[in-house]
């Protein structure tokens, strides 16, 4: 069943690139942006992460936490974060359970091969843990501005 506006955001506990853990329900009282992306250090994902980086202060000014999530390893996330000076945690969903819970796993085709991968998606969760906005099949251009406007 796909998540819709007003649904309770699926809770999770995931490790960051630095081995700390983040549990969603511990973040109540702040807005949370989760952006799911396919792969560290790929062109679209790099552009998206850097766009969030460049607007990071505006999110923090609005009492909003940012987290990137993919199925990459902590080591891969750490290299990606350091290379692009990303100021927010990247969460490791190695098993893809959180991706499944948020419905961002879909069939993708690359070079004629079909596989299951992450569809670029962003969720805005309000202070009570409810989903306030959803962006699916995100186009990177102007996406961060759309999210900021909603926050």
**The CATH number of the domain where 102 resides is what?**
3.40.30.10
Domain that holds residue 65: 16-150
Using the predicted structure, report yes or no on whether residue 70 has a pLDDT greater than 70.
yes
Identify whether 139 is part of a domain.
yes
Identify whether 2 is part of a domain.
no
- Spatial contact of 28 and 127, defined as CB atoms under 8 Å apart: yes
45 given a catalytic annotation: yes
In degrees and rounded to multiples of 5, residue 96 shows phi and psi of 80, 10
Threshold 0.85, pTM exceeds: yes
- Of 9, 45, 69, 99, the catalytic one is 45
Q: In the chain, how many domains are there?
A: 1
Cβ partners under 8 Å of residue 126, min gap 6: 31, 132
Using the predicted structure, report yes or no on whether residue 110 has a pLDDT greater than 80.
no
At residue 139, the pLDDT reads 87
Using the predicted structure, report yes or no on whether residue 83 has a pLDDT greater than 90.
yes
Cβ partners under 8 Å of residue 66, min gap 6: 33, 35, 52, 56, 59, 88
């Amino acid at each position: 069943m796909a998540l819709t506006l007003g649904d309770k955001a699926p809770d999770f506990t995931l490790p960051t690139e630095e081995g700390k853990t983040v549990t969603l329900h511990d973040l109540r009282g702040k807005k949370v942006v989760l952006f799911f992306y396919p792969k560290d250090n790929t062109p679209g994902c790099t552009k998206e992460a850097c766009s969030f980086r460049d607007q990071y202060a505006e999110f923090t000014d609005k009492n909003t936490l940012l987290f990137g999530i993919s199925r990459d390893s902590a080591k891969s996330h750490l290299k990606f974060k350091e290379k692009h000076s990303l100021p927010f945690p990247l969460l490791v969903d190695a098993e893809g359970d959180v991706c499944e819970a948020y419905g961002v796993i879909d069939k993708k085709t690359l070079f004629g091969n079909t596989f299951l991968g992450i569809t670029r998606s962003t969720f805005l969760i309000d202070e009570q843990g409810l989903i306030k906005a959803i962006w699916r099949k995100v186009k990177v251009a102007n996406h961060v501005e759309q999210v900021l406007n909603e926050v």
